[in-house]
């Protein structure tokens, strides 16, 4: 960027964007919408790239694509390659095979500018928590790189071949269409795609992930910035008018960042407000007074290192959390911020600048040489990362500093889980006429887990057990009209859940009416605890004499087997064989609803069993005999089922479950 076109206020806007993301990732209060800083970056890119292309075409009558892409490579790839290399070394030393394997897959996609597709397809029921993905933030770089592949060709064609105002009109139309697509795909359903191909439509069933990760749904953000390349040509002659415009833009950007509702995933409306505000600040950024909020030395300096800061901060957070295996304290967060800024500055000075402007920019070499060099480095990285991915995380590292005995135990746990998860004894859907007490389990995979615990109990054969298992994220029907429970169902699952609802209702009333005991064991995170009261009220209409039991959540914030196999960090002390509860406030809010529901007969808090009823400061990850309790972050291993059964027996929970139901008070 030449001195005549340099806008220091845009570096200040970069500072606002990257600090918002950093504070969001550190859970700083009032930055619930800090992730919208990425959207601000998209606006900035849309403006700068469009302005560059437009200026070159207007001044030369053409556009040098090779020069453009070499400049983009110098700008993006050296710092990215350095970040990936550092993350690879740390992951090699620290990560379990399961996490290192996922890192390898993410690295392959990051090197090929397809990270957004990798994390889009990885999202789902058994997805690893974001805190264990050091390359998660590279999804936005892939979106930008995909923008760079398409935008120059489209814009050049429009500026050279179409009438004068066709380009901005096209950008406006593309932006409106992109924004519209967000609402079309938000709920994960598209009638047009369903008609064309149900299989393809199924790929987009997670609507929230689709509109968050995929580039077509972000075009409106790039487009807002791109339009500024034309609009800044018609600024008001009285510069004083720019002052309120800039302040309005700053307010519009900060409002969704600071007041984003925490219970909402990605919202295109909030993104539009933030991006419109950023565009307005770009338009009015030459204001004399108001723009000093961004056009000042500290903000400019942060903006200059913002790319390196963005690359460095998230892996630092991930590795710090993985090593500490605990919640971050205020001091921890301060250390992370200091480390992120130090590393970002060193990357900027010794990696970014030398390759972009200094002796490593290959300005004296041919463009083909520079391009071949970057492609070769990326290709070598893909080969190494692919091997990590395909070989399941280089389990041979156990021979270096791990425990071969532990590896054998974990391999056994994995195989046991695979065979244990779908045992034939868990497929029984109706009762037998054998005179035994009838126990009905209603739930998803958590219902299966309860039956795993029950199967370890010596008195299990004294019960006639049936399982009504709904698909993950779908509510049990319980004879209700689907319209009654529809509001509790995730939007992208409504159609398939309605079909499941109809299939379950055919036999549900009969099975419920026969049951002596009904157990609800579900993933409350997807069901919603408030549904429980509605469901149990309906159940009691079918069978007022049944004993109703609710099984509370047990979600943990990490993969159980991966925790146990952390290299060099396997906890030996009994206290360290425990973990901080994952989202404990959420779990406690669910438990409060269940405990306060006057219709509940009995509630079992799995968190109290894992963590201790009084303190809940740490929860057990490994059973006293050394077995891993959970396979992933929410499902039991065989050792875990044995552990819970032993605790149920010790605490007298089985006696409570199987006790005769007390008569209800009443007239």
pLDDT digits over 245-256, tens only? 999 999 999 999
Q: Is residue 278 part of a domain?
A: yes
Question: Interior CA angle at 445 toward 642 and 199, to 5°?
Answer: 145
176 shares a domain with 148: yes
Distance separating alpha carbons of residues 643 and 456, to the nearest angstrom: 9
| Predicted pLDDT of residue 427 | 56
Query: Among residues 398, 424, 457, which one ends one of the domains?
Result: 398
Residue 63 has pLDDT above 90, yes or no: yes
247 shares a domain with 206: yes
| Predicted pLDDT of residue 434 | 82
Which of 150-164, 291-305, 386-400 shows the lowest per-residue confidence on average (mean pLDDT)?
A: 386-400
The structure tokens listed for 124 are 């789902």
Q: Is the pTM of this model over 0.95?
A: no
In this prediction, residues 87-115 reach a mean pLDDT of 92
| Predicted pLDDT of residue 115 | 96
| Predicted pLDDT of residue 536 | 72
Bigger pLDDT: 299 vs 615: 299
Q: Is residue 217 part of a domain?
A: yes
From the list 287, 276, 284, the residue with the least C-alpha distance to 253 is 276
| Predicted pLDDT of residue 665 | 42
Distance separating alpha carbons of residues 66 and 200, to the nearest angstrom: 35
367 shares a domain with 432: no
Query: pLDDT tens across 278-335, in order?
Result: 999 999 999 999 999 999 999 999 999 999 999 999 999 999 988 877 778 899 999 9
Residue 387 has pLDDT above 90, yes or no: yes
Bigger pLDDT: 641 vs 424: 641
Distance separating alpha carbons of residues 353 and 124, to the nearest angstrom: 39
Query: pLDDT tens across 460-480, in order?
Result: 888 888 887 665 555 554 545
* Domains contained in the chain, number: 2
| Predicted pLDDT of residue 211 | 94
The structure tokens listed for 441 are 């389990």
pLDDT band at 239 (very low <50, low <70, confident <90, very high): confident
437 shares a domain with 473: yes
In this prediction, residues 53-70 reach a mean pLDDT of 93
Q: Where are the alpha helices (DSSP H) in 348-403?
A: 353-356, 367-390, 398-401
Distance separating alpha carbons of residues 33 and 79, to the nearest angstrom: 26
Per the CB < 8 A criterion, the answer to whether 56 and 281 are in contact is: no
Distance separating alpha carbons of residues 514 and 600, to the nearest angstrom: 19
Contacting residues for 143 by C-beta, under 8 A, at least 6 apart: 42, 116, 213, 214, 215, 218
The structure tokens listed for 224 are 């807002």
260 shares a domain with 204: yes
Q: Is residue 198 part of a domain?
A: yes
428 shares a domain with 370: no
The structure tokens listed for 309 are 């800061």
Query: pLDDT tens across 395-433, in order?
Result: 888 777 666 666 666 666 666 655 555 554 455 777 888
Q: Which domain holds residue 537?
A: 412-658
487 shares a domain with 348: no
Q: Is residue 283 part of a domain?
A: yes
Number of H helices, E strands in the chain: 30, 7
348 shares a domain with 447: no
- Any long-range contacts for 336-343 (C-beta under 8 Å, 24+ apart)? 336/26, 337/22, 337/26, 340/22, 340/309, 340/312, 340/313, 340/316, 341/305, 341/309, 343/308, 343/312, 343/316
In this prediction, residues 512-538 reach a mean pLDDT of 72
Query: Among residues 398, 427, 456, which one ends one of the domains?
Result: 398
Distance separating alpha carbons of residues 37 and 25, to the nearest angstrom: 11
Percentage of the chain modeled with pLDDT above 70: 76
Q: Is residue 301 part of a domain?
A: yes
426 shares a domain with 368: no
The structure tokens listed for 386 are 């692919």
420 shares a domain with 318: no
Query: Among residues 370, 398, 426, which one ends one of the domains?
Result: 398
Indicate the Cα dihedral angle 379, 343, 91, 630, nearest 10°: -130
631 shares a domain with 554: yes
Instruction: Give the SS3 label for residue 498.
Output: helix
Query: pLDDT tens across 558-589, in order?
Result: 666 666 666 655 444 444 455 655 556 666 66
Instruction: Give the SS3 label for residue 458.
Output: helix
Q: Whole-number mean pLDDT of the chain?
A: 82
| Predicted pLDDT of residue 471 | 58
649 shares a domain with 557: yes
Buried residues in 615-646 as b, exposed as e (16+ CB within 10 A)? ebebbbbbbeeebbbbbbbbbbbbbbbbbbbb
| Predicted pLDDT of residue 418 | 55
Q: Is residue 407 part of a domain?
A: no
Which of 136-140, 368-372, 472-476, 630-634 shows the lowest per-residue confidence on average (mean pLDDT)?
A: 472-476
Q: Which residues pair with 628 in a beta bridge?
A: 622
| Predicted pLDDT of residue 375 | 93
| Predicted pLDDT of residue 76 | 94
Q: Is residue 85 part of a domain?
A: yes
Residue 120 has pLDDT above 80, yes or no: yes
Q: Whose structure tokens read 């790319």?
A: 307
pLDDT band at 663 (very low <50, low <70, confident <90, very high): very low
Instruction: Give the SS3 label for residue 608.
Output: helix
CATH of the domain at 618: 3.40.50.1110
Query: pLDDT tens across 492-523, in order?
Result: 555 656 665 555 555 667 788 888 888 888 77
Q: Is residue 663 part of a domain?
A: no
How far CA 403 is from CA of 331, 442, 573, 641, in Å, comes to 33, 40, 16, 24
């Amino acid at each position: 960027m030449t001195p005549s076109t340099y806008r220091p206020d845009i570096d200040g806007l970069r500072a606002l964007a990257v600090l918002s993301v950093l504070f969001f990732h550190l859970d700083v209060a009032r930055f619930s919408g800090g992730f919208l800083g990425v959207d601000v970056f998209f606006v900035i890119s849309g403006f700068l790239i469009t302005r560059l292309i437009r200026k070159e075409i207007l001044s030369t009558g053409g556009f040098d694509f090779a020069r453009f892409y070499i400049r983009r490579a110098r700008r993006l790839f050296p710092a990215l390659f350095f970040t990936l290399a550092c993350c690879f070394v740390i992951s090699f030393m620290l990560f379990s095979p399961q996490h290192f394997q996922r890192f390898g897959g993410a690295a392959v996609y990051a090197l090929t500018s397809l990270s957004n597709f990798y994390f889009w397809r990885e999202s789902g029921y058994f997805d690893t928590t974001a805190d264990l993905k050091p390359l998660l933030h590279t999804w936005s770089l892939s979106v930008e790189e995909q923008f760079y592949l398409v935008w120059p060709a489209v814009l050049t064609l429009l500026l050279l071949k179409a009438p004068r105002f066709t380009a901005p009109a096209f950008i406006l139309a593309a932006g409106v269409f992109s924004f519209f697509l967000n609402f079309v795909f938000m709920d994960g359903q598209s009638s047009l795609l369903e008609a064309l191909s149900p299989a393809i439509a199924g790929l987009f069933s997670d609507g929230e992930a689709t509109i968050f990760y995929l580039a077509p749904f972000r075009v409106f953000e790039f487009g807002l910035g791109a339009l500024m390349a034309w609009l800044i040509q018609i600024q008001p002659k009285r510069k004083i008018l720019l002052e309120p415009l800039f302040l309005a833009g700053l307010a519009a950007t900060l409002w969704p960042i600071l007041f984003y509702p925490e219970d909402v995933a990605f919202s295109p409306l909030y993104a539009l407000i933030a991006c419109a505000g950023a565009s307005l600040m770009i338009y009015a950024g030459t204001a004399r007074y108001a723009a000093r909020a961004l056009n000042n030395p500290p903000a400019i300096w942060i903006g200059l290192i913002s790319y390196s800061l963005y690359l460095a901060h998230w892996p630092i957070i991930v590795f710090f959390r993985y090593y500490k295996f605990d919640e971050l304290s205020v001091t921890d967060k301060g250390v992370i911020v200091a480390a992120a800024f130090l590393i970002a500055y060193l990357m900027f000075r010794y990696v970014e600048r030398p390759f972009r402007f200094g002796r490593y920019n290959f300005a004296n070499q041919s463009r083909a040489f520079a391009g071949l060099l970057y492609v070769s480095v990326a290709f070598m990285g893909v080969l190494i990362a692919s091997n990590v991915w395909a070989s399941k995380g280089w389990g041979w590292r156990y021979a270096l500093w791990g425990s071969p005995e532990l590896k054998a135990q974990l391999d056994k746990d994995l195989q046991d889980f695979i065979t244990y998860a779908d045992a034939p004894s868990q497929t029984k859907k109706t009762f037998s006429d054998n005179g035994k007490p009838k126990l009905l389990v209603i739930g998803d995979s958590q219902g299966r887990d309860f039956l795993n615990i029950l199967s370890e109990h010596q008195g299990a054969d004294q019960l006639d057990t049936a399982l009504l298992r709904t698909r993950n994220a779908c509510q049990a029907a319980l004879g209700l009209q689907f319209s009654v429970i529809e509001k509790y169902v995730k939007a992208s699952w409504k159609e398939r859940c309605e079909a499941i609802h109809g299939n379950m209702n055919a036999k549900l009333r009969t099975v419920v009416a026969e049951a002596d005991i009904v157990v609800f064991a579900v993933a409350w995170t997807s069901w919603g605890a408030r549904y429980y009261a509605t469901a149990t009220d309906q159940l009691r209409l079918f069978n007022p004499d049944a004993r109703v039991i609710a099984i509370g959540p047990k979600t943990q914030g990490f993969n159980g087997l991966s925790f146990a196999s952390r290299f060099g960090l396997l906890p030996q002390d009994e206290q360290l064989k425990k973990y901080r509860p994952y989202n404990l406030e959420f779990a406690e809010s669910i438990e409060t609803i269940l405990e306060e529901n006057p219709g509940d007969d009995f509630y079992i808090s799995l968190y109290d069993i894992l963590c201790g009823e009084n303190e809940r400061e740490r929860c057990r990850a490994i059973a006293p005999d050394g077995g891993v309790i959970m396979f992933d972050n929410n499902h039991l291993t065989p050792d875990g089922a044995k552990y819970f059964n032993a605790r149920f027996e010790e605490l007298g929970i089985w006696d409570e479950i199987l006790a005769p139901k007390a008569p209800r008070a009443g007239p």
